Amino acid sequence: MKKRTPNSGKSNLSPFKKFIKEKPKRETFSEKPAPRRKPNKRLEEKLKAKKDQKIKETIYGSSDKQVKKPVYDVKKVISVAKKVKEENEEETSTKKTNEVRLNKYISNAGVCSRREADKLIAEGLVKINGEVVTEMGYKVQPNDRVEYDGKLLKKEQYVYVLLNKPRGFITTTKDPLERKTVMQLVQNACEERIYPVGRLDRNTTGLLLFTNDGEFATKVAHPSSNTQKIYRVELDQPLKEEDEMTLRDRKFELEDGSPYIDGLSVNEDDRREIGIELHSGKNRIVRRIFEHFGYTVEVLDRTVLAGLTKKDLPRGKWRYLSEQEMISLKYLSGLDKKKKKPARDKKDRKRR
């Protein structure tokens, strides 16, 4: 056998060292570019959608809070802005010169409504300082003499009347079917043109206010004034205890929302007789509440209205409100409340 020498035959390197020796050098980045990845279509679509969204959206505001600009109906905004501008201009002009539009002046004099006054003006039945005026937007000056049908018109005084309405009368100023209206009951109360505040159904009895004070009527009738109304109700059958609990907990809704019931009392001797207090002025609200539970209201009588009662006021009769009643009513409706200045103004004054 031949002796093996280190330099003869195959190399005596171990397999690991041989692998290191024979392994080619790694190519640098500059020599060979990195392989391209396959395009991700979903990712590209998302990125494109984000870019389009950024282009469409207009962002404004401070650097701390950024708010997306809402999309407006331009035509509607312009029309509303014009109306607001005209109303503001009219208010400022009337405040400066104490001018009043002619149709409003006629309405305030108790002749008719503003729409009917426009017809009288168009027909040439109104004279100002002896001359016929047919201009709709004419503004009456403080020293002008306005005449209609040969009579000098003056601003009427405010009148407040309380009626105990009987059954069978409709709460409206005019009825085309010539049915009985509440205006027939108060026709001799005053010369001024008064009208009902709110309404009562034909078969509903109780207290109903009349006035020619438009601002007062709007405030009292509006739900925000929380005008107290208490009704005495008689049902066709006794009220069930489970229905009473549902009414007290207000866990029910009508087709136009859930009515807020302020109070409920049930006559335990005869559970058909119920007292209910609320401030909602929705149409047929009391009847609809009990009809929701399967009851029929046979008698409905409004016994209290904004603190006013039927004391010494028989059915079908009316009376004028006293001065004390008017003070409390105007306070409750918010007409006598002064607007409070914001707290910031007070702080600024203190700093100054």
Name 235's bridge partners: 297
Rounded-to-integer distance, Cα 126 and Cα 122, Å:
9
Give tens-digit pLDDT for 247-270: 998 888 888 888 888 899 999 988
Q: What is the per-residue pLDDT for 62?
A: 44
Which is more confidently placed, 63 or 51?
51
Give tens-digit pLDDT for 296-314: 999 999 999 988 999 899 9
Tally helices (H) and strands (E) across the chain. 10, 17
Q: What is the per-residue pLDDT for 264?
A: 93
In order of their start, the domains of the chain are 78-155 (3.10.290.10), 160-223+311-333 (3.30.70.580), 228-305 (3.30.70.1560)
Identify whether the C-beta of residue 220 lies closer than 8 Å to the C-beta of residue 281.
no
* % of the chain with per-residue pLDDT over 70: 71
Rounded-to-integer distance, Cα 133 and Cα 125, Å:
8
Q: What is the per-residue pLDDT for 238?
A: 95
Which is more confidently placed, 286 or 328?
286
* % of the chain with per-residue pLDDT over 90: 28
Identify whether the C-beta of residue 176 lies closer than 8 Å to the C-beta of residue 273.
no
Q: Look up residue 122 and give its two tokens.
A: 């168009």
Q: Is the pLDDT of residue 21 over 80?
A: no
Which of 52, 201, 249, 312 is the catalytic position? Answer: 201
Q: What is the per-residue pLDDT for 168?
A: 94
Q: Is the pLDDT of residue 320 over 90?
A: yes
**Residues 305, 308, 314, CA angle at the centre, nearest 5°?**
100
Q: Is the pLDDT of residue 287 over 90?
A: yes
Which is more confidently placed, 153 or 19?
153
How would residue 340 be classed by pLDDT, with cut points 50, 70 and 90? very low
Give tens-digit pLDDT for 81-117: 777 777 767 666 555 556 788 888 887 777 787 888 8
Q: What is the per-residue pLDDT for 55?
A: 57
Name 242's bridge partners: none
Known catalytic residue: 73? no
Chain mean pLDDT for the chain: 78
Picking from 76-80, 119-123, 127-131, 239-243, which range would have the lowest pLDDT averaged per residue? 76-80
